[in-house]
Chains A and B, each alone.
Chain A
Amino acid sequence: MAIGVTDAPEKRKSSGSIINDPQVRGIFYQAITIIILAVLIYWIVDNTVENLRRANIASGYGFLNSRAGFDLGQSLIAFTSDSSYGRALVVGFVNTLLVAITGIITATIIGFIVGIGRLSHNWIIAKLSLAYVEVFRNIPPLLVIFFWYSGVLAILPQARDALALPLDIYVSNRGVAFPRPLFGEGAQYTLFAIIIGVIACFAFARYARQRQEATGQRPPVLWAVLGLLIGLPLITFLATGAPLTFDVPIAGKFNLTGGSVVGPEFMSLFLALSFYTAAFIAEIVRAGIRGISKGQTEAAHALGIRPRLTTRLVVVPQAMRIIIPPLTSQYLNLTKNSSLAVAVGYADLVAVGGTILNQTGQSIEVVSIWLIVYLSLSLATSLFMNWYNARMALVER
């Protein structure tokens, strides 16, 4: 909570000279700041215009429509070297989102496991978790990315003698190849069923809560949710004739053909960011759980609530309140750190922008696009997490 700095009373009877009036002084200082800033900006703009004119660079965003002329290693949406710069940036943005979202999910899972592990009564688990945190927290993420990229993934076997894992997954120095699902006729009904299932789950959870508050009895939520989320789509899937086949990667003489391939760039970035951020999340989780006073657990036990329910209904909801704000900033950090992709050549927003910047020399425009995109991502994440935080926050009567 912000505590206002009360510098001076609102209105002071100026007994002496006007120079000593804090308000007048304040206005004076601010005016000087504005003047200096204006002069500085004028000077910079003047220099920039002059420099751009000399270098023969037309400013403006028109270049976004011209032909890119380079290929991107991995893109979720169609991209060829004939596509425009604008589309290349969109591909970069999608790739940034992809690595950020998968990284956040993995980092959260590892982080929670390690964080809870650090509080374990089991000596060996606690020490292993501590070692994990101390190792990964104190090494630059860029180094971890290189470790995966040129240390581990680069010395995997060639594509023709790729390591074959179960489920037709192949691992080689070209990345991980896995079967790509191909959806046939009628697959959309399964998708509808999933959406209906999710909506029905929310409705059922609401009903269950109302019922519990009214009667004290809790309907079996777990079974209903499982049925709605898995059973309903499965029945639809089978009823429409199982319209799903897999494009399986096949080990050819020189290369793997078919299937989806996730390149080593993505893998190294994803692994490094997940492991690195997980170390920080683990510390946040530990601090959050330790922050709940023991009296809460003891009171719950005294009320006859079982240990497992105590954790779920008493400790975790309170700990989440402590955990969420710093967790948000870790998510933002991970998203920002995904820009390290440029070091291994994963085509994220910064890497694509850097290429465009080198080709066209439109540095101001490219940097402004970076700033806008990252600032909006930061803003969107913090808005979402603030909303979630407000839901979880202590409701005081």
Chain B
Amino acid sequence: MSTHQANFVRASMIEASPAPALESGIAFWLRKNLFATPQDTVLTIISLLVLAWLVPPVIQWLFIDAAWTGGGRGVCATIAQGGSQPDGWSGACWAFVNAKFDQFIFGRYPPEERWRPALVGILFVLFLVPMLIPKVPYKGLNAVLLLAVLPIIAIILLPGGWFGLTYVETALWGGLMVTLALSFVGIAVSLPLGILLALGRRSNMPVIKMLCTVFIEVVRGVPLITVLFMASVMLPLFLPQGVTFDKFLRALIGVSLFASAYMAEVVRGGLQAIPKGQYEGADSLGLSYWQKMNLIILPQALKLVIPGIVNTFIGLFKDTSLVSIIGMFDLLGIVRLNFADANWATAVTPVTGLIFAGFIFWLFCFGMSRYSGFMERLLDKSQR
């Protein structure tokens, strides 16, 4: 007896079956990313071995064996070197950084006056952070506060000498404060100056064009050290007898001029990328040269080169460390100055100090590059 039934029709969907064991999960990830080919396997194993050889000693040195507290070189020196650590000990001397932390931030600024740079620093952060967050309104007011009000407050507070504030000469300034001050002024001066130089280089007035080109190429062709030497040795020669420039100011001039030449080339790249039609369109609307540049060309050109501008800022920030060569005590300079402190002279002090300074520099530069990436994505989206 045969009952012929209708073909099976499934009313509901089959549950999706899990991917084969070899195509999912951790094992798959490992196979795909670490052990795809024999070559990959060898590379992975070598890298893991190198990491295993390198990372635990470094962590041991930096954190576990490190001397965290203490009031002198004893905690960071072995018994043979006149300290309290067992022979053969080696570890980071964070006690040194701890003891010198205030100096690393403020240099030799008199301790009772340190509230002044601290206040300027707090204001700087207060004005800068809302500037960096795109959603916060009142950008115009904010820019005025950051670029006009803050410098005036800084000029009043940092050197002092008026309103009953004791005068603190710039030779006593140092540490992170000098690094930040140099970078801030360098950035604030080099961007507008760089834009002017770039416009000058693309101008059709031959004299202006030649002057800007020569300036940009000469400055870009020589190392910053020579520019700083020039600022510190030759500038006094150029001025009349009796007129002296502060050393800090001279370094400031050198760093700003140097960065503006690099900035000019970045901006020029942006200007070149703007199609000719934009220039002609602005002309046909009857805009003057400066209207054309301010309203039409520069907003587009600068947006294009934000990564390059931020890279120049990062370069400038790193370059400020060179002022330690002409005898100023920026963050790197003050850290090195303290190696000579007999109270802390041990074999591990220099490495620890340099790692600390390097970490601070790294933090700022990495932060800037991350922020530039964020800005780039933001502006990119708005264009689509």
On A, residues with C-beta under 8 Å from B are: 1-8, 26, 29-30, 33-34, 37, 44, 47-48, 50-52, 54, 120-125, 128, 134-135, 137-144, 146-147, 150-152, 154-155, 336-340, 342-343, 350, 354, 357, 363-364, 367, 370-371, 374-375, 378-379
Contacts and interface: CB of A to CB of B under 8 A. Distances in A.
B318 A141 contact: yes
A122 B325 contact: no
Contacts of B324: 142, 343
A291 to B, nearest CB: 15
A151 B222 contact: no
A354 B229 contact: yes
Interface in B227-247: 229-230, 233-234, 236-241
B354 A147 contact: yes
Contacts of B339: 150
B205 A26 contact: yes
B281 to A, nearest CB: 11
A131 B303 CA distance: 29
Contacts of B34: 122-124
Contacts of A51: 236-237, 241
Contacts of B224: 336, 339
A139 B365 contact: yes
A-B pairs, 6 with minimum CB distance: A138-B365, A123-B33, A339-B223, A151-B351, A336-B223, A140-B318
B194 to A, nearest CB: 17
Interface in B173-225: 202-208, 211, 218, 220-225
Given A30-B205, A122-B36, A337-B223, A47 B283 contact: no
A151 B226 contact: no
B102 interface: no
Given A5-B203, A364-B234, A371 B223 contact: no
B180 to A, nearest CB: 14
Dominant SS among interface residues on chain A:
helix
B239 A6 contact: no
B237 A364 contact: yes
Contacts of B365: 137-139
Contact of A367 (B33, B203, B206, B226): B226
Given A3-B276, A142-B332, A367-B234, A374 B361 contact: no
Contact of A140 (B205, B234, B332): B332
Contacts of A122: 33-34, 36, 40, 43-44, 47
Contacts of B354: 143, 146-147, 150-151
Interface residues of B, number: 65
Contact of B362 (A48, A135, A147): A135
B314 A138 contact: yes
Nearest to A123: B33
Contact of B226 (A1, A8, A150, A371): A371
A139 B229 CA distance: 23
A124 B280 CA distance: 52
A134 B205 CA distance: 43
A5 B223 CA distance: 32
Contact of B205 (A29, A337, A340, A375): A29
Contacts of A2: 272
A151 B366 CA distance: 23
Contacts of B361: 138-140, 143
Given A37-B211, A124-B34, A340 B222 contact: no
B279 A140 contact: no
A94 B240 CA distance: 38
B231 to A, nearest CB: 10
Contacts of B221: 371, 374-375, 378-379
Contacts of B44: 122, 124-125
B332 A146 contact: yes
A232 B322 CA distance: 49
19 contacts: A3-B275, A33-B207, A47-B240, A51-B237, A122-B36, A134-B366, A139-B365, A144-B358, A146-B332, A146-B336, A147-B354, A150-B351, A336-B224, A337-B223, A339-B223, A340-B223, A364-B234, A375-B221, A379-B221
A33 B322 contact: no
Given A48-B237, A139-B318, 20 more contacts: A7-B204, A7-B283, A47-B241, A52-B237, A122-B40, A123-B34, A124-B34, A138-B369, A140-B332, A143-B357, A147-B351, A154-B350, A336-B224, A339-B225, A340-B325, A354-B229, A363-B237, A364-B234, A374-B223, A375-B218
Contacts of A337: 223
A387 to B, nearest CB: 19
Given A122-B40, A138-B314, A367-B226, A8 B207 contact: no
Nearest to B40: A122
